[in-house]
Structure formats: structure tokens, C-alpha cells
Amino acid sequence: MTTAVIAGVGPGLGESIARRFAAEGCDLGLLARSEGYIEELAADLPTEAVAAPTNLADPEDISTAFDRVRAALGPVDVLVNHASAAGWTGLTDTDLDAFDRAYKVGPRADFLCSQEAVRDMRAGAGGDDTAGTIIFTGATTSVRGREGAVGFSMGKFGSRGLAESMARELGPEGIHVAHVVIDGGIRPPGTEPEAPEEYLDPDAIADSYWHLVQQDRSAWTLELDLRPHVEDF
């Protein structure tokens, strides 16, 4: 049985990933601050799921959450680094606390969660099979800084650099690291936008995440770029 941890799960893409992975038989560790929400989601999934309330800006919380997941579900095989926290403000309107939080919930949490997961993956490595998969959720700002979003741009750039460095270090050990650029708006849950063709479907994105988990070691993707079907991008 595959154990997957989603760090930063919420309504929308995070939930779509959880449901897609569970549909494929994965047991799930759900990490987020919203205790009530993740408990309801865990109870609604068809496989075993652990709701681990976690402040991803707190290293001790992250360590405790992974220990809880391991105790219930076993070693971690798949990690999705999905969290971010940053306001849409520019240089002079962003205070230090907000900037630091964008770093702590973004690249720093990705780093800490990856360290936890890789410890399990390395312990199970061997042969020609994939020893584990780590997926980073990126954004347009991962590759092109956005005006008026210094914290978000910094965080996503940092996570992308972390992912690329990890891929080169861990690939020879059989650990697949992939970064996904979500280049466009994701359709909000429970809504019908006026121009649906301008949004990415979260369930379709989740299908792509599962494809990354299944990829053969001889043909891994390092970076996947997803965008809605529009004529001009």
C-alpha cells in the first residue's frame, strides 16, 4: 500500500489530489491547520487517512505530523508539497512578518517536509524501482515574478530552486522529484465561472500529479507546465 502525504491540503486542488490518490488505493496523510476540514475529508476518503492538524510554519508541528502518519500508515512513499501563504502586496506594502511567513510556509516547509519524507524513501530504496516521489506545486510566479506579489514570488521561486536541486541529488537514488507550474487560475470549488475555459480544472491537475507518481524511472518529468486551453498565453 502506498502512503502519500499532502502538506497544505484544502478545498480545491489539495482536495482533488487527495481524492485522486485515494481512488488509486493510496493511504493519505493530510496536513493543514484546518482541523475540522481535514478530519471531514479523511472520513470521506475510501482508503485509510490520517488528519494531522499542522502549522507548517512550525518545525515541531511538521515533525509531529509525520510521526503520526508513520505510526498509523507506515513509511511515506509520496509527498506533495502544496502549501503557500503570501499576500498580494508589493515591496513597500509588505511587512517583514508577512514576508517571513511566505518563506516559512513555502520553501522552508517544503524543505522540512521533504527531509522527513526522504528519510523513509531512502530506507526503502533499492533496485531499479522508484523509491519515492516528491511533487511541488508551483505557479506562474515560480518562473516569472509578478508585480505586486513580492512574498508569493519569492516563495515560489525558492520552492522551484529547492525542487531542482533535490531532483539532481535524489534522482540517482531512485527518488523522483517533480515541480508543477500551474500557469493560470484554478477553478474555485463549488462555482461555475463565466469563462470556464480560462481556468484549470483541479481534478484534471490531480490526474497529472498521479501520472507523475506512476512514471517509469527511465523517463521522469522534472518540470510539468499546465495551463488552460486559451489561444494566447
- Tell me the CA distances in angstroms from 139 to 18, 35, 49, 102, 182, one per residue in order: 19, 26, 27, 14, 4
CATH class of 3-123+130-226: alpha beta
Report domain extents, the chain: 3-123+130-226
pLDDT tens per residue across span 95-113: 999 999 999 999 999 999 9
pLDDT, the chain, mean: 94
Phi, psi angles (nearest 5°) of residue 35: -60, -50
pLDDT tens per residue across span 110-129: 999 999 999 999 998 777 78
Q: What share of the chain is helix, strand, coil (3-state, %, to 5)?
A: 45, 20, 35
Mean pLDDT confidence for 19-45: 98
pLDDT of res. 230: 65
Mean pLDDT confidence for 169-186: 96
30 pairs with which residues across the strands? 6, 51
Contacts of 12 (CB under 8 A, 6+ apart): 186, 188, 189, 202
Residue type, 41: L
Would the pLDDT of 190 be above 80? no
Cβ(211)–Cβ(226) below 8 Å: no
